[in-house]
Amino acid sequence: MEQIYRLEQIHKHFGDNHVLRGIDLDIRRGENLVILGGSGSGKSVMLKLLVGLLTADKGKIYFDGNDITQLPEKGYYPIRTRVSYLFQGGALFDSMNVYQNLAYPLKAHTDMSSQDILAQVKDALKKVGLEEIEHLFPGSLSGGMMKRVALARAIINQPELILYDEPTTGLDPLTTHTINELIRKMQKDLQISSVIVTHDMPTVYRCADRLAFLDEGCMVFIGTIEQARQSTHPKLRAYFQGDDRV
């Protein structure tokens, strides 16, 4: 399968905190890659490196075969219009209402009419199971609703790849199910690939084509779910063991 991203020996420090210690990873077109890993293991940092919100200290990142490790800010713009990022905390603009939040990427990069934008916004909200909340501000939404609005904002401009930082954390099982189905559906119907950072096993089972496990800054496992089940790595086993007991 064709690669979208290739990471080679990526290192990232913050002061003396050595967060990523030599990551090698492929992200392939058309597949859903799930990244597991303990809290603080550097998952969010890794996603940010992919779109240039942070830059790696060492190693190389290739996007579509081009080296994008150290670009000026503007150099990342073409990538960022093709790759969406769902932030762990949602990162909705709290001075804008839900409609304005969702319309933001559309207004910035297309010249759609306001009617078309409104239709797109309603459509995106419906996909994540929300309706009639266009006029509300993020401050008056529940945590789960915020997460879903942020998700709607990430999918609204139909990118090639979506980076999800914990898309289902804190959501009820039914909504989680809706979101998992949505991720799968977008992959099938629109060929949108996904990188999903999660701790949710249902999401892993439903969405993952491949699984990567990040531990103490290293990728200790990359493979299919079946291979992950067979893995002898104690921390990775813990994810699946808990499941077997049920």
Ligand X SMILES: Nc1ncnc2c1ncn2[C@@H]1O[C@H](COP(=O)(O)OP(=O)(O)OP(=O)(O)O)[C@@H](O)[C@H]1O
- Residues of this chain that interact with Mg ion (CB under 5 A) are 44, 88
CB of 19 to ligand X, least distance (A): 4
Distance between CA 128 and CA 182 in Å, rounded? 8
Q: Tell which positions 73-132 bind ligand X, by CB under 6 A.
A: 88
Q: 176, 91, 96: which is closest to 129 by C-alpha?
A: 176
β-strand pairing of 161-165 with 32-37: unpaired
Picked from Mg ion, another protein, ligand X, none, the partner binding residue 81 (CB below 5 to 8 A depending on kind) is: another protein
Q: Pick the binder of another protein from 2, 39, 65, 73 (CB under 8 A).
A: 73
Sign (positive/negative) of CA torsion 171, 175, 180, 182? Answer: negative
Residue nearer to another protein on the CB measure, 165 or 200: 165
Is residue 48 a contact residue for another protein (CB under 8 A)?
Answer: yes
CB of 155 to another protein, least distance (A): 13
CB of 135 to ligand X, least distance (A): 31
CB of 71 to another protein, least distance (A): 13
Q: Tell which positions 95-154 bind another protein, by CB under 8 A.
A: 95, 104-105, 108-109
Residue nearer to another protein on the CB measure, 50 or 219: 50
Is residue 93 a contact residue for another protein (CB under 8 A)?
Answer: yes
Residue nearer to another protein on the CB measure, 108 or 246: 108
Q: Tell which positions 18-77 bind ligand X, by CB under 6 A.
A: 19, 37, 39-45
39, 235 in Cβ contact below 8 A? no
215, 41 in Cβ contact below 8 A? yes
Distance between CA 196 and CA 86 in Å, rounded? 10
Binding site for another protein (CB under 8 A): 48, 51, 53, 73, 76-78, 80-81, 84-85, 87, 89, 91-95, 104-105, 108-109
Binding site for ligand X (CB under 6 A): 14, 17, 19, 37, 39-45, 88
